Amino acid sequence: MSTRSLFRRLKTLAAGLLALIVLHQTLARLLSKTLRRRMQVPAPAPLGRLLDSAFRRRLQPEEDMVRRCGIKKGMRVLDLGCGSGAFTLAMAKQVGEKGEVVALDLQPKMLKSLQRKLQQPQNHRWQKIIHTSVGAAQALPLPSESVNACCLISVLQEVPRREQALSEVYRVLKQGGVLAVSEFVIDPDYALPHTTMRLGEQAGFIVEAVEGKPWNYTVRFRKPQNIEGG
Ligand SMILES: C[S@@+](CC[C@H](N)C(=O)[O-])C[C@H]1O[C@@H](n2cnc3c(N)ncnc32)[C@H](O)[C@@H]1O
């Protein structure tokens, strides 16, 4: 095969892939809009199984996602919109026994799946580290400057008042704390990296890094440190 025909084939393949993504996004957005209107919830709880599946893990390995979020030993982390806890246990492993993970979600049914997972004998040791909480991103039930990191994985675009939610995250984060926002194109609420960056910056955060690929990425922000007398 000549270089030119290989190039042409690659171009066709890329165009096909792009068309598939656009088609998927259009159909998935329509379907999720209809479902949400009917069920009155952001992401129906039965979706929890798919979110916490081996298939998802292959596309978004836990260790990779936790690393992207900038989670370190001993941190107090907020897994905001944790869902069925697809990444919560991996966060707990990362913070270790001296750390804590607050797994917060709007839907008690989602948290039940995580609690069931924590009841399994092999997960008992994480019970001391993971604390589940029902709550809304727009009014976080946490004191100001009480967490080191906050992760929103496929959540931000589901929140109706995103600015209010980000201002709440800003409030509960310690100075110099990390906000990590991850988006994945399979999610009907997927947003492009520049949209996520703009939202974070408008809330006062500073972009530290963008990791992954545009279709499966994490933007890591920092809450600025207050410089006294500056
Ligand atoms: C697509 S799921 C992602 C769950 C999990 N982060 C994951 O990646 O598997 C979005 C989750 O965000 C939660 N959520 C949506 N809006 C929320 C809000 N305003 N406050 C708290 N949680 C919210 C939903 O209940 C749902 O569990």
For 159-177, what is each residue's pLDDT tens digit? 999 999 999 999 999 999 9
- Quote the ligand 1 centre to 140 CA distance (angstroms): 14
**Residues 6 or more apart in contact with residue 158 via CB below 8 angstroms:** 42, 43, 81, 189
CATH number for the domain whose boundaries are 47-222: 3.40.50.150
Distance CA 186, CA 78 (A): 24
pTM of the predicted protein model: 0.86
CB under 6 Å to ligand 1: residues?
42-43, 51, 81-83, 86, 105-107, 110, 136-138, 153-155, 158-159, 187
Token pair of 27, please? Answer: 């159909």
Element (H, E) at 221: strand 216-222
Inform me whether the pLDDT recorded for 75 exceeds 50: yes
Place of tokens 């966060």: 91
- Quote the ligand 1 centre to 43 CA distance (angstroms): 7
Query: What average pLDDT does the chain have?
Result: 91
Ligand 1 atom nearest to 182, measured from its CA: 8
Mean pLDDT in residue range 21-29: 69
For the segment 189-202, what is each residue's pLDDT rounded down to a tens digit?
899 999 999 999 99
For the segment 142-158, what is each residue's pLDDT rounded down to a tens digit?
999 999 999 999 999 99
- What is the residue extent of each domain of the chain? 1-40, 47-222
